[in-house]
Amino acid sequence: MAKRKNSTRRRLDRERAAQSERKDYEYHLPVMLDECCDWLITDRNGLYADGTLGGGGHTAEILKRLDVGGRLISFDADPVAIQHCTARFSDELSKEGGSRLVLRNANFFEACSTEEIHLRKVNGLLLDLGVSSRQLDTEHRGFSYRSNTRLDMRFGTEGRSAEEIINAAEEDEIERILRNYGEEPFARAIARRITERRRAVPLQTTQDLRFIVEETTPQSTHAKTLARVFQAIRIAVNRELEILDGTLRGIIPLLAPHGRIVVMSYHSLEDRIVKTVFKEESERDFKNGDNLPRLKTLTPKPILPSEKEIQENPRARSAKLRVAERTSLDDVPIFKKKAKFQE
């Protein structure tokens, strides 16, 4: 009987811990946590960057795996995420003798211009490109069509809002945004209706936009169309794909030899960019010594979450993990031959 009670108590403790963890991760539960950190960390005393801090799930696990000489710089454009994680990691940030963690209220593209990364070279960059549950559910941001609020959609506080873009962009530009960033088949009709409606009155709220989508498209497609339209405008507002491409290419020269880029994407547009950059940078012309491959792709096919993880965290379903590694001169036989000849 005592053993059964102890077993029950341990099970309840685990359930309470899981519930507490889910509350902590109001942003979203970190997907493929172990896989990300296993691929990312090659030197426990190295310098790493978490480009998408969010609720701090990946940052916490990286810190667990770093020794005293390790260093982690975590970025997020959302000031609320920085406040959340400043409290969450207060013990680490206040350590005597210096913390291993630095929090930066900036987009992950800023990693490419961070002085410490330029001086020391980074051993790994992690990007989890999922939009947090908290951001999607925060009404005043305007990310969701399910609430009625101002059309903002910015992750931070800088740049043009969705309201400004929708009311100022030309019809063909709106169509391009919906088609390229949302792969929306009704892009032309929706763009035309937006420009017609705003001539009478500016579009200001999520419900203004939702009404246009619903009156322009078949009722059977409303849910999927709304999701695509809101995704497309959010991507345009935050320049997500442009920043992702620039960051992946910009961080390569700042990687230490065999330093790694670990990227987890959640839709085909992001994954296509990651796959393309890794492929291009891994297949540069070996015959030209000035155009040697800068990366080696370590995951020819993306790593996917397990069925167990998908059951526990349905948002993991669409996740794809890709990893590439910075090449060194020793990895390029042709270059070695040239160098030896020149000696």
- 241 and 273 in contact (C-beta within 8 Å)? yes
Read off the pLDDT of residues 234-250 as tens digits, 9 standing for 90 and up.
999 999 999 999 999 99
Q: Residue 112, class by beta-carbon neighbours within 10 Å (0-12 exposed, 13-18 middle, 19+ buried)?
A: buried
What is the model's pLDDT at position 44? 97
What is the model's pLDDT at position 85? 96
What is the model's pLDDT at position 27? 55
pTM comes to: 0.83
What is the model's pLDDT at position 181? 96
Q: What is the DSSP string of 78-100?
A: -HHHHHHHHHHTHHHHT-TT--S
What is the model's pLDDT at position 141? 78
Counting every residue written for the chain, the total comes to 343
CATH, domain 21-133+255-338, list 3.10.180.10, 3.20.20.70, 3.30.1600.10, 3.40.50.150:
3.40.50.150
Report how far Cα 107 is from the mean position of its chain's Cα atoms.
10
- 181 and 153 in contact (C-beta within 8 Å)? no
Residues 6+ apart with CB under 8 A from 26: 55, 133, 134
The residues spanned by each domain of the chain are 21-133+255-338
Spans of the chain, pLDDT less than 70: 1-28, 132-140, 285-290, 329-343
